[in-house]
Structure 1
Amino acid sequence: MSASDPQLIPRAGRVRADLDELARLVEDDRPGWTRRAFSEPYREQREFMLGKMRGIGLEARIDPAGNVIGVLPGRNRSLPPLMTGSHTDTVHGGGRYDGIVGVLGALETARLFSEQGIQLERDLIVIDFYGEEANNFGVSCVGSRSISGRLLAEHLDRVDADTGISLGETMLRRGLDPDRAVRGAWRPGSLHGYVELHIEQGPKLERSGSKIGVVTAIAGIERLLARFSGRPDHAGTMPMEERRDALIAAAEAILLVEREGCGAPIHGVSTTGRIESSPGSFNVVPGDAAIWAEMRSVDAEWLDGAKGRLARDIAELAAKRGVDTAIEWLNDQEPVHAARSVQDRIAGAADALGVSWESIPSGAGHDAAHLADLGPMGMVFIPSVGGRSHVPEEFTEMEDVELGIGVLAHTLLGMDRERR
């Protein structure tokens, strides 16, 4: 690895060791490397990360929302701090790299600064955000929402359909303080900047051969729950033209969701990830059905228009079949643009290290989107092999992880010297 400052060369061996340690804290009865928020392995992981931070000399704590926060003190602690980090929870059947690389990269960056006697002008905050991935409550990014003031009291009342327990009660059972988490917003503009290292989760960097992605924007997300109420009937005796089949109406809605994503003019995707129907018998026409879907884009205008079109078209198609609909938008996030100044810093760090880079939008949601109100925000992407993510096969070469950490460290060092 070529570097303008050889003191900031990451040690891949210890990053790999941290990665392997974390990979053991998983839900053994689930596929892949599953470590979902609110699970017992995730609770153990919070303590693991707290110990890691304290072990390298950071002032570390777990806040009321479950965020693990470590601070590397700067020379002038009255200055607005820098922040870097990501998340360590996974989706069901997830992989070893999504979010985790960003947390371990932040930890390694703090190690490098400490070992080489590099004291920043301001504090550096290393953070492992709580519960970034989507959950049964329909509230993703729990920890970063708390810090940014976007975790609301009504979120705490959301109920897990599988358990009947609210988000607030679940947080209490995990030793968190949901009321303080809702009131835990940091002051807007209180950060000098936030930079997040993350795997791309898509194929663009691998296909182009670029080693670093400088993120331009994070896609907005609209999540949809559509319920369909028809009429159950005998599957052998009710004529096709007289049926009020809720599952067929749901199937047509799924195709509408796909059509919206395919028709996006700039950047847009749409996915239906879950479908249910009842009574669930071969010989009964489905009387009720539901789908869970989402749309993502960095184009706010398209996202807003698609949301309105889907609600209208789903209802109209279902009505033609005599099926009633109820549509609920579970969670939304506006597209968020990375700060131009941080993009330039990341690109400059890559250039200084002799690492190829390109500008790239993020189709995935990230904690970084919620940090933009607190200070200039940016993201560093590194390649994902085969573009695979949210699956056990998710993989990023350790050489690319090392390059990403190097770019992150140099970016933070450059930002520390800026006046804002």
Structure 2
Amino acid sequence: MKINLDRLLTDIEKYAEYGKNQHGGVTRPSFSEADHSVRKLFINELEEMGLRVTIDGAGNIWGRHYRKGNKEGSIVIGSHLDSVPNGGKFDGPLGVLMAKEIVKTLMESNVTLDHDLEIISFTAEESNDFNLSTFGSRSFVGRLNAEMLKEARNSEGILLSEELEKVGGGLAQFPIMEDMRRDKKAFIELHIEQGQRLEDRDISMAVIDTVVGTYRSIVKVTGESNHSGTTMMDHRKDAFTAAAEMVLEVERYCKQFKDDVVGTVGKVEVFPNAANIIPGQVKFIFEVRGKKEEKLEHAVNRIQEVWQEIADRRQIEFIQEVLLDQKPVVFDKGIVNILQSTASEMNEPCLTLPSMAVHDAAHMASITRAAMVFVKSIGGKSHCPEEYSHPIDIEKAGNLILKGIINLDRHFLD
């Protein structure tokens, strides 16, 4: 039994038409016109399959295939349908459409599962105008509640509560999600890797056992502004050159790790930002991601120690405001083992890797057993029109989840 690859690829191309732009990418943020249209398409297709469709308070779309077996609860598979501006056609939709294809394959093959099988399309996984990424999954697991969101507005002043009602959700329905989540026995999400680890090893897929932790802070470096012509080099307290050295230290330190620690400075502001004034202050956002909590903490601490040495030597000061200190998420070992053993049964090579980005599965892991499968990304491209995964790699990853669900249903879950 295998998924119907041609049918899946046709689905991917069809869905990519919603929000397609003149640059060849897909622009489909949640609550946009394109998002409304693709939601209607998806709901209609789930209903045509005979699934029971439910839209929860966060606008997440659930399609339930009822079991013929005798075990309570459901196995959930899916991802998200929204995109970043000028994004690709695979990030998110591949996981949702693969879930639909897997359910179709099981139905056509008359396979009886002991648990219900559910498809999920989460709302607003990507960054959006409400500044609430992974909104649907965070809301579903209770990390966002109606009280926290009642005044949430986008850049145009439109209330999030109004947008939710337009897609069939609403803050008044949030309490219902608490009852819904007790029913979920397992969650598996398929996603493109968005990196080059699989491509470097020429392996089609990976089982994901961890989502990295993330430390992020705003760093303010303060020196002294002065005239760029009359202030000699030895008399300067240049905040920008000090910040530059600090940024290079992030790169230098994190390069010693192979796959499980990365560091980034992705936003910098220079004050007063004038050609003839020595910069007196710089603000930048510092981020480190790591698979293991102790390595993450050690990296942050060591970088800050060197920063202090730089500050002392250059006679400048720096302070930090922590924006995020999120610990790594460890996925369920039982599901990870089932997927690994299933790959072995298929005689397919399969790596075990951490996810260096946060996905909906990281939040679902707080309420149920969860894991992910990555498929090889060509060139590591993502969030751009060039995003691509070869059909043969997609097929292997889809069949891994298809067969893994059967093994999970029969041999692992109560």
Please state which band the TM-score falls in when normalised by the shorter chain.
0.7 to 0.9
CA spacing shift, 1:371–1:260, aligned 2, 3 Å? farther
Structure-1 separation of matches of 2:320 and 2:225:
21
Alignment of 1:368-407 (within 5 A): 368-407=361-400
**Which ranges in structure 1 are unaligned for 5 or more consecutive residues?**
1-5
Q: What whole-Å deviation, never above 9, does each CA across 1:108-165 have from its counterpart, x for those lacking one?
A: 11111223333422221111122223457664321111122222679649989x9486
Q: Post-superposition shift, 1:65?
A: 1.6
Q: What whole-Å deviation, never above 9, does each CA across 1:51-85 have from its counterpart, x for those lacking one?
A: 33223222223322232221112236871211111
Q: Post-superposition shift, 1:221?
A: 1.9
Q: Post-superposition shift, 1:281?
A: 3.5
1:112 maps to 2:105: yes
Q: What whole-Å deviation, never above 9, does each CA across 1:309-351 have from its counterpart, x for those lacking one?
A: 4556556745766665453333343212222221222123323
Aligned residues of 1:201 and 1:388 also touching (Cα < 8 A): yes
Structure-1 separation of matches of 2:159 and 2:109:
45
1:258 maps to 2:248: no
The corresponding residue for 2:72 is 79
The corresponding residue for 2:61 is 68
The corresponding residue for 2:10 is 17
Bigger shift: 222-231 or 292-301?
222-231
Which of 170, 176, 179 is equivalent to 1:177?
A: 170
The corresponding residue for 2:199 is 206
TM-score norm. by structure 2 comes to 0.84
Secondary structure at 2:87 match in 1: coil
CA spacing shift, 1:222–1:348, aligned 2, 3 Å? same
Secondary structure at 2:59 match in 1: coil
Aligned residues of 1:60 and 1:70 also touching (Cα < 8 A): yes
Letter in 2 for 1:222: Y
Letter in 1 for 2:195: G
Which of 183, 190, 196 is equivalent to 2:189?
A: 196
Alignment of 1:263-282 (within 5 A): 263-264=256-257, 267-282=260-275
1:360 maps to 2:350: no
CA spacing shift, 1:218–1:384, aligned 2, 3 Å? same
Secondary structure at 1:389 match in 2: coil
1:307 maps to 2:297: no
Q: Post-superposition shift, 1:259?
A: 3.3
Aligned residues of 1:147 and 1:186 also touching (Cα < 8 A): no
1:350 maps to 2:340: no
CA spacing shift, 1:381–1:206, aligned 2, 3 Å? same
1:150 maps to 2:150: no
Bigger shift: 228-237 or 12-21?
228-237
The corresponding residue for 1:3 is none
Structure-1 separation of matches of 2:156 and 2:277:
28
Aligned residues of 1:139 and 1:331 also touching (Cα < 8 A): no
Q: Post-superposition shift, 1:187?
A: 7.3
Q: What whole-Å deviation, never above 9, does each CA across 1:167-210 have from its counterpart, x for those lacking one?
A: x9345445453575588446776422111112222223233333
Q: Post-superposition shift, 1:35?
A: 3.1
Residue-pair matches, total: 410
CA spacing shift, 1:199–1:281, aligned 2, 3 Å? same
Q: What whole-Å deviation, never above 9, does each CA across 1:247-277 have from its counterpart, x for those lacking one?
A: 4344333223323422448721112222233
Structure-2 separation of matches of 1:138 and 1:363:
21
CA spacing shift, 1:251–1:173, aligned 2, 3 Å? farther
**Which ranges in structure 2 are unaligned for 5 or more consecutive residues?**
none
TM-score norm. by structure 1 comes to 0.83
Letter in 1 for 2:45: K
Structure-2 separation of matches of 1:225 and 1:184:
35
The corresponding residue for 1:45 is 38
The corresponding residue for 1:101 is 94
Letter in 2 for 1:145: R
The corresponding residue for 2:276 is 283
CA spacing shift, 1:259–1:238, aligned 2, 3 Å? same
Identity of aligned residues (%): 31
